[in-house]
Structure 1
Amino acid sequence: MCRRNCLLCLLWFTFSWGAMDKPKAAQRVADCSTVPSLFLSKAKRPTVSSPTTVCQDSLVQLNVRDFVKGSSFQWQRGGVDVSNANDSVLVIRGSQSGSYSCLLRSPLCPSPIVSASVIINANSKPLVSVAAGNPIGVPCKEGTVKLSSNSSGNGALKYQWYFENQPIQSATSNVFDAVETGVYYLKVVDAFDCANTSEALTVITYTPPKADLSTSRIGFCKGEKVTLKVTHGRTYLYQWLQNGQVISGSRDSISVNQPGTYSVKVTAPNSCTTESNQISVVQYDDPLVAIVASGNQICPGGTLLLTAQGKDLKAFDWKKEGQSIQNETKNTIKVTEAGNYTVAVRDTNRCFATSTAFKIEMVAKIIVVLGKISDFCGVNSSVVVLKGSPSGGEFSGNGVMKDTFNPQLAGYGEHTLSYTVKGSVDCMNGEAKQTVRISPPPQLDLGPDQRLLKGHSISVNAHLGVGYTYEWTPTKGVSDATHPAPTLSPAQSTTYRVKATGPSKCVAEDSIHIVVFTQLYIPDVFSPNQDGVNDTWEIKGLEDYPEAEVAIFNRWGETIFYNKGLYQAPFDGTINGKPLPIGIYTYLITTEPHSASYRGHLLLGR
């Protein structure tokens, strides 16, 4: 006895030391004399208790409690092992009544322990039978068939009549007047909640069948169908119609994908037919949706608002590159990235559609450039075509007409010209400016024409200021053809022209005529006496004037000598070969046309 108690103490100590890893129920086992308890519950509901008297077709569950983990089990019925019943739970069908116990073998106990017994009693189901009387009433108008039941069972019975598998409201007695043709049965429940149903009974009355046609929606979207349902009857025959024409379909429901007016004829086994109400089914148009925005460009760090535009739109699913964007389910979206955006929508008719792709491109800040325009000298310059980039901008300023600049319209002075580009986003906006100067043309004056003794020089001044360049023509006889004030040394009469070009393309021109003359030696006396000395009136230097005119007049103003051109025959004191008398004569010498003349007196001696 002592050895047995020591063993039990050792086992109790070992069990207590490992109690933290054991089920709570096992911690209560103090020794091998403790008998495990059994708990009867609903099947698969181990915490809901069940009475020990059960219906034949019900399931209950026996549960072993207060056992050590690692124990093995063997269920027994009437002291005999139940085949394959080796778990802590045993499911029992109500028809398997008897006394049940469990033989438990614990790893802590040397001998098996038998639980207390639980006696389960089976309660038989009620006996249910139904019968139908003869139909009464007016055929295909109205009528009834009396249904009655002769049922028996334990205690007070409860009744529920069913029509086409649906409970009939307030039909809770053993008799019922059936109005509609169809399949009926009766469910009977006894005092122990044991239930049984009768066999199905097909009842044919004089009442025409019901034909209540209904649908969950009266329209369908493209690619969808609408289901129409009419009053169900297992004994009914159905004939469906679309727009009054028979279509296929013989059941109590039909799915259609064509618009039209639908109805159905329902025929009962009593040969009575009822045509249902009509339902018009329409096909909804697909929703139209478009993405609208202020533009299709976005700046780095900027946003662009996209709006789904359409009629009766209800649900939205925004996508980028075909992938849904999380939490974007409103009709607008603010985007910050380039890409192809679409929106899938559902309208109030529950139809779906997807917009065409809306492409957004990322653009960099533009650099606006206005083509350089040179300054103008005077207002008579040609109209200048303005150039700006990027294209699409607008020119403005004095003298600007569309894309041209007219100096005459602008007038003298400094003018600011602008080229402005406006885009849909800030980084596509910009402006470029430049100042154009229109100066009055300079006035160049070389002074009056000059006479210059052959072999001499003359200085002229064409200076107009800083920034001007000069070009003299002809260059012969010019000390520096690019100087504003050169020295002119012509060998013969010459017209010099100077062209001065300023910083604003101002051009001024002027000319000066330099008459180069040779000093003439004009004798004032000569003696044509044939002595070989001063026999002719010779004018030195006249040979340099090929167009010279020489005329000599007597005291009465009559011309006694005239020569034009080269002085080939000097005056010899005769006229028509006859000697002129001694005396004083007057001469007029013109060296060049429109030039100065020489006048004087000539003494003719002998």
Structure 2
Amino acid sequence: ITGNNSVCAGNTATLTYYVATVNNAAEYIWTVPTGWEILSGQGTAAITVKSNNNTGAISVLAKNGCGIGASSTLPVEVTSRLPLTPGNITGNTKVCAATNEITYSIGAVSGATGYAWEVPTGWEIMAGQGTTSIKVITGSTSGNISVKAVNGCGNSAEASVLAVAITAVPETPVAITGEKDQCAGNSGKVYNIEGVKGATSYTWTVPADWVITAGQGTNAITITAGSESGNVRVVAGNTCGDSQAQLMAVSSVGIPSSAPAKIFASDNLICSEQTGLTYSIDPVPTATAYAWILPEGWTITEGQGTTSITVTAGTKAGNIEVKALNGCGESGAQLLPVDPTATAATVIGTITGETTACSGQAGLVYAVPEVPGATNYTWTVPQDWTITAGQGSNTVTVTIGKTSGEIAVTAANTCTTSLPSTLAVQVNLSPQALSLIKEESNPCAGLAYAVPGVDGATAYIWTVPAGWEIVAGQGTTAIKVTAPDGSPKGLVSVVAQTPTCNTAPVSIEANPARADVDLTIANVFSPNGDGVNDKWEIVNIQNYAENDLVIINRWGSEVYRSKSYHNQWDGGELSAGTYFYVLKVKVCDGSYKTHKGYVMIMK
């Protein structure tokens, strides 16, 4: 039977009692203590009753047509007092936030039928509410856990209370203080942080071969540095956990591992007492400064201690020396021999090149042997000549003007300039430049080419493609040529000569077809605008400048006419079909030859 087994004296409220249904039961027979009254439900599995001050028992029988089952009984006590205040709550008074299954409990209270627990805001009772022991999930705030005993007359007058405090995980430590660079083997070096609120210990880690010699667990450690770089790391901890780590990158700095690799010089040739010379090196890993030493009489004007210095040279040869430094020591030295006496030769060799040339001639080369110590060569030429390449070197390329004269060159470096070397050059005037070759080829004359004569020329030398033959005119301004059948286009060139000079050649692309006498007349074309066979073509018609073309339709009507036709007809607005042509061309004897036939327009 389920229901209150402790009833407060003088209770006027109705009470409910019930049992689980019994298989095959047709009705239920309830009995209650003397003076109690069943208000409703007799015959069912649940009744509502009104109590009085008599203690006793509630019982129930299940019944059907075959008989009555065994009874079930619930003793009930009528009491007239509230339960006592529970005893002390037992359990942790300092706990971590968000912790599961923390247990709090009390001893049983006489006369209590249950217990009412309360926990701080944000906490959660996982199990045990109503009993003498609960399990909770902690929140993030501190507060009180309280419990009252409960019976039918109410709750105990006072609650038992236990103050509990939340212990937080420590905050991340602030920045670590200490030296970021340590010489390998340094001892007694300290790294520390400010104390972190709530922390009860500190855990430090250092690079692999470093050693913590004192202070592990506190907010300051003493170390001996190893040869490896890495991080000094610390976390603050307490019983609830560890903070995020604070890191400080540290480097193990040994003596600079090697001498500077190479000294770079602004000038390889040095003049005595020359100013503004610079010498430099690439930075050396772990170096913090550089020590430079110069030959006797030389002076550093800027940059001592850095990777680059500016100096004034003395008069003595010697070595430029530099070492890399840091707080742990110095590297070996790098040396650069220097000699401030190097100069260019005061006299240079003979110029080689043509001593006679033609005006306008291009690509002539003049040179002198290389001069030890020279860094520059300066060439001069007659006023109307042009240096086209090589100024500054020991070889130049020139275009000849009309004036004879001298080519001169000097060699120099920062300290001295040589005397000039010269070469006299006689310039012979070239013939006047040729104009373009004129095409005079046709079916009557054959292949023919001509060029206007120029003043001063004594001959004209022609060249034709391989296999072609000049049959007349070589040496003159006009030639006649033959070409094998089927020859492709080729270049015909000519130069004008004097006894001493030639002009530049001029050329023309020669087309053997210009001498063809045969006409090839197409009998179909397709003016569709696709770029293929869009116009009616008569091969070699260009060789017959005087021609007359008439196109007629099948009814004899003229639909197109052209004088001097040159393959321009695209059919116009004519429809597709067959048309007839009459073509007259003027031939070599002055008469006209007539060609007739048909042509189809396809669209």
TM-score normalised by the chain length of structure 2: 0.32
TM-score normalised by the chain length of structure 1: 0.32
Q: Which entry has the higher C-alpha Rg, 1 or 2?
A: 1
